[in-house]
Chain A
């Protein structure tokens, strides 16, 4: 079942601007991950944030997590044309035993960065 909802579904910006994508989920999680997918290719892992973390940075990426609201955001600063892709959030459920790393994905946000 799809538990993640992403917002917006599509985002179009100019190079140099910041891009913010949001993700909501429904159940308790162990961690939340963001992935990028270029035009029909496989997914590339961007960043993982654990349920006890509130914010994480990696280069031009900043991810926040609000477990009380069951939501996360991905901020890409100073965007480039090469950032054009689909971005997905995915959650690993909190499981008493182990979840094996199963992912439940959001629908994704299509980001277009114009040169």
Chain B
């Protein structure tokens, strides 16, 4: 079975903290994605990566950055967490999603 693993199921962080969300895949796929999901807004693409060290902005990149130093790992970084970044974050490779990280910023 293809696995996309997100390191945390639930996270609570304080406003202004730097937050790292980690995602690991075991399919050796070039493409990895970060989405956020909010009620009434559906899933929106934040960033994606098409190779190691290569990244492109999605539809809502503001307030986020990403890192892909190794092919299997794609990290989403909230440089200075804000309450409007409270959301469900989903990592994916084509056709397979992780279980999601529910982040609450207080």
For chain A, which range describes its interface: under 10, 10 to 19, 20 to 34, or 35 or more residues? 20 to 34
Judge if B61 is at the interface, Cβ distance under 8 Å.
no
Question: Closest approach, in angstroms, between the C-beta of B92 and any C-beta of chain A?
Answer: 8
Given contacts A40-B88, A40-B100, A41-B99, contact A102 B42 (CB under 8 A): no
Given contacts A42-B99, A45-B96, A101-B94, contact A2 B48 (CB under 8 A): no
A105 to B40, alpha carbons, bound, how many Å?
Answer: 12
Give chain A residues whose Cβ lies under 8 Å from the Cβ of B4. 42
Number of chain B interface residues as a range: 20 to 34
- A102 near B58 with CB under 8 A, answer yes
Which B66-106 residues have C-beta < 8 A from chain A?
Answer: 88, 90, 92, 94-100, 102
Q: Which residues on A sit within 8 Å (CB–CB) of B92?
A: 43, 103
Q: Is B50 a contact of A100 with CB atoms below 8 Å? A: yes
Closest 10 CB pairs of A and B: A101-B94, A105-B43, A42-B97, A43-B97, A42-B99, A107-B42, A105-B42, A45-B95, A100-B31, A100-B50
